[in-house]
Amino acid sequence: MVRIINDDYYPLTGDKDVWTCISHLVQEEKSAQKQKRSVRSKGASLRGVPSSKRRRLPLLVSLCGGFLLSLGIFSLFLVHWRRRRNTMNKTTKQMPKKAMTHFHDELVEAELEQGASGPRPFSYQELTVATDNFSEDRALGRGGFGSVYRGFMGDMNREVAVKRVSETSRQGWKEFISEVRIISRLRHRNLVQLIGWCHGGEELLLVYDLMHNGSLDTHLYRPDCVLTWPVSIFRYEIMLGLGLALLYLHQDTEQRVVHRDIKPSNIMLDASFTAKLGDFGLARLINDGRRSHTTGIAGTMGYIDPESVLAGRASVESDVYSFGVVLLEVACGRRPTLVQEDGDVVHIVQWVWDLYGRGSVLDTADEWLRGEFDEGQMERVMVLGLWCAHPDRGMRPSIRQAVSVLRSEAPLPSLPARMPVATYGPPTNHSSSGTLVLSRVSGR
């Protein structure tokens, strides 16, 4: 009998051999089990964790990776936010307390909110970007209370003019509040549209539609861009547009407005040369009757009604006077104050009236026109200008009458050959207690 164990042959010859074989088989079985346990132990040590835990390992790795990625993104956002805040702090500063206390913080805010129903507030940063940090290359002009810059609002896809009011100027504050409060209520094709405003930093800023052809005075006193006369465009139509703007302010609004600073530099021209009256910094609302209750003298010398200078108050009649001076200036191409050959200084109203009395009023027409104008229209404009600038405000036309004359819907008045001498009453107390706000213009 033979027993095969592990490929070895064991002949079974007796009882002893049988037991020896059985013993050998038991040893072989124990050795095999021990070897299997050793293999399992080694496998477990290599894998490190039981099978259930090994299945959780990818999930734990994913969660840890997501957490680290989120932490990285948050860190980048935090760094970007801090840099942006630092940039804003450099460009946007707090309003000086002295400037604010001129009108008390609450009053300023109340005035802005009261009149800002149409125009929107802008941040200082937005206007800095729009004007390339108020670059000198973007400067359009400078005035008594600030500068104007060309800008572009990307979010609106719109070209704008940004008026930068002088820093810490008390009068600048008054102009800023007045302009926002008044012009935001007005809508007319012959008024410059106020788009928005900003008072969040040391700067006081007003944002308007850009007028591509600048102001009227630029075209009156530059020989390279003289305005021609035809009714369809340029001078006559510009004057009619100005008259319609004043008609709207004086008679067609819910509350009348006195502009108080009508002059060619405040008459803007858009791309099609449509006249648009702007700069309402000195404007005032009329609450009772026809006269405003403002005190002090405001405006530009040469355009101010002489009675307003003495009385210290403005009215719709004083606006009509300024309108008359502008009519004469546009027709004659001369500044309000003229220096004659003998050195004497004469006002344009006196000069034109003298020639009107001699029957040669057309001799005052702008020489740069070289006689290329309609004589009837030129005479109509000049006589209307004299009527509006009549020394006696009671003899002046209303702005509606003046517009009717420009439209040839009403006849010209019959004026005396010699300019009347004005007689004014004694100055009121308003003139001594008011604020003097004047500017000057140079002559041609």
- What is the C-alpha separation between 218 and 226, in angstroms, rounded? 9
Structure tokens at 214: 């600048």
Count CA atoms closer than 13 A to 444's CA, side-chain side: 18
Buried b (16+ CB within 10 A) or exposed e, 169-188: bebbbbbbbbbbbbbbbbeb
Contacts from 30-38 at CB under 8 Å and sequence distance 24+? none
Is 163 labeled as ligand-binding? yes
Catalytic residues: 261
Handedness of CA 243, 191, 337, 232 (dihedral sign): negative
- Per the CB < 8 A criterion, the answer to whether 401 and 410 are in contact is yes
Residue with tokens 């449509």: 274
- Per the CB < 8 A criterion, the answer to whether 122 and 199 are in contact is no
Strand pairing class (120-121; 194-198) = parallel
Helix H or strand E encompassing 381? helix 375-388
